[in-house]
Amino acid sequence: MRRGRGFTLAALALASPAWARDPILSPPIDCDLTGPCFIQQYVDADPGAGAADFTCGPLTYDGHKGTDFALPSRAMLEAGVDVLAAAPGTVRALRDGMADVSADAADADTIEGRDCGNGVAISHGGGWETQYCHLRQGSIAVSEGQRVGTGTVLGQVGLSGRTVFPHVHLSVRQDGRVIDPFNPDGIVSCGEPDPQTLWGNPLTYQPGGLIAAGFSDAVPDYDAIKAGTAGADTLGPDADALVVWAYAFGARPGDILRLELDGPDGTVISQAIDLEKAQAQLFRAIGKRQDAGGWPTGSYRGTATMLRKDRVLDEISVTLRVE
């Protein structure tokens, strides 16, 4: 069962476009950003060698020039998720033909000078431009010079260019200068989102959380988790082990990931795992080997809870049938 986001830095109910002449933006992805999709990284607001997002949080990296709207798995990429124009304008440029291969894969294409991968750039007038990167090969649905409206399908989310996870990277620029749509005036107030944004409808800042959780009969391979193929809905009573795992993003030192597995006869196993370093993405798992006689048949429940400073950041519950 997917859940609502459990914690935000602030309510953005009063957010509005910064100035009337600025573009009013909509999310560039046809997917619910309260789950299953999420924002993995924001514009780097630190002008020096370090990196910080617009809240002074760690959801960025040095020199990052856009906002990354991410899919939870490569299976969802294969199913197809549309990339949408964030505002009306004219297609200025595009590129297609690059393979959907993680940049760290041995068979990845040479991407030097083509970091954006397959992408689309749209001019909005007044020096404003948006750029959409890492689109799926062969999915681009617009042409140069075409007029588009807010929500026009540009293509689909992919894995092309310099990326290791499926997402659409949205860059916003005015006269060539990078603009953070969450913080267009560029004034950073740590911990306090700017009430003036470029989003027509507020987008809530989520400072980390859970991407997915599931059951398996052994600790799954990380590639299977990222692919979306690691979870099991049913297992037999003779399964070697019962394992519950969680896939998370935006971890900070001191965070706790609590994993619990409850069965027909009560709690099977529970563990609070300390997360000791900042990580963009990670997974953890706990489990128990089968006792003699096999697992009792019935319904099992796994719960993953991510905590920060004793506050619940996010939570997911999943179920399994043993039969």
3-state secondary structure string, 98-134? CCCCCCCCCCCCCCCCCCCCEEEEEEEECCEEEEEEE
Residue 226, by phi and psi: left (phi above 0), alpha (psi -120 to 50) or beta? alpha
Q: DSSP readout, 5-29?
A: ----S---TT-B-SSTTSPPB--SB
Can you give the residue range of the structural domain that contains 287?
A: 209-322
Task: Tell me the C-alpha distance between 82 and 136, whole Å.
Answer: 10
The answer as to whether 292 is a domain residue is yes
The answer as to whether 191 is a domain residue is no
Is the same domain home to 60 and 103?
yes
The answer as to whether 197 is a domain residue is no
Q: How confident is the model at residue 291 (pLDDT cuts 50, 70, 90)?
A: confident
Task: Tell me the C-alpha distance between 112 and 115, whole Å.
Answer: 6
Task: Tell me the C-alpha distance between 223 and 104, whole Å.
Answer: 13
Is the same domain home to 292 and 221?
yes
Is the same domain home to 115 and 225?
no
Is the same domain home to 128 and 221?
no
Q: What mean pLDDT comes out for the span 63-80?
A: 97
**Percentage of residues of the chain with pLDDT beyond 70:** 91
Domain end: 137, 156, 178, which one? 178
Is the same domain home to 252 and 298?
yes
* pLDDT for the residue numbered 303: 98
Is the same domain home to 45 and 163?
yes
Is residue 231 predicted with pLDDT exceeding 90? yes
Is residue 67 predicted with pLDDT exceeding 80? yes
Tell me the average pLDDT of the chain.
Answer: 91
Is residue 191 predicted with pLDDT exceeding 80? no
The answer as to whether 192 is a domain residue is no
Task: Tell me the C-alpha distance between 38 and 33, whole Å.
Answer: 5
Say if pTM beats, i.e. exceeds, 0.95: no
Question: pLDDT of 311-322, one tens digit each?
Answer: 999 999 999 999
Q: How confident is the model at residue 52 (pLDDT cuts 50, 70, 90)?
A: very high
| Angle at alpha carbon of residue 317, lines to 313 and 320, rounded to 5° | 160
Is residue 150 predicted with pLDDT exceeding 60? yes
The answer as to whether 250 is a domain residue is yes
Is the same domain home to 100 and 222?
no
- Of residues 112 and 230, the one with the higher pLDDT is 230
Whose CA is closest to 82, among 15, 27, 161, 126? 27
CATH number for 166: 2.70.70.10
Q: Any bridge partners for residue 132, and if so which? A: 120, 170
Q: What mean pLDDT comes out for the span 294-312?
A: 96
* pLDDT for the residue numbered 14: 38
Classify residue 37 by burial, with Cβ atoms within 10 Å: 0-12, 13-18, 19+: buried
Question: pLDDT of 172-190, one tens digit each?
Answer: 999 999 999 999 998 887 8
Is the same domain home to 312 and 247?
yes
Q: What mean pLDDT comes out for the span 13-42?
A: 80
Q: What mean pLDDT comes out for the span 157-163?
A: 96
The two structure tokens encoding residue 197? 């944004």
The answer as to whether 214 is a domain residue is yes
The answer as to whether 143 is a domain residue is yes
Q: How confident is the model at residue 106 (pLDDT cuts 50, 70, 90)?
A: low
Q: At 227, phi and psi to the nearest 5?
A: -80, -20
Domain end: 158, 178, 198, which one? 178
The answer as to whether 32 is a domain residue is no
First vs last Cα of the chain: how many Å apart? 20
Radius of gyration of the chain (CA): 21
Question: What is the domain count for the chain?
Answer: 2
Is the same domain home to 244 and 299?
yes
* pLDDT for the residue numbered 79: 97
Is the same domain home to 151 and 215?
no
* pLDDT for the residue numbered 109: 67
Q: How confident is the model at residue 294 (pLDDT cuts 50, 70, 90)?
A: very high
Domain end: 162, 178, 194, which one? 178
* pLDDT for the residue numbered 111: 83
Is the same domain home to 223 and 307?
yes
Is the same domain home to 68 and 154?
yes
Q: Poorest-confidence range of 106-120, 168-182, 229-243?
A: 106-120
Query: Using an 8 Å Cβ cutoff, are 239 and 295 in contact?
Result: yes
**Percentage of residues of the chain with pLDDT beyond 90:** 82
CATH number for 230: 2.60.40.10
> What is residue 241's three-state secondary structure?
strand
Q: How confident is the model at residue 107 (pLDDT cuts 50, 70, 90)?
A: low
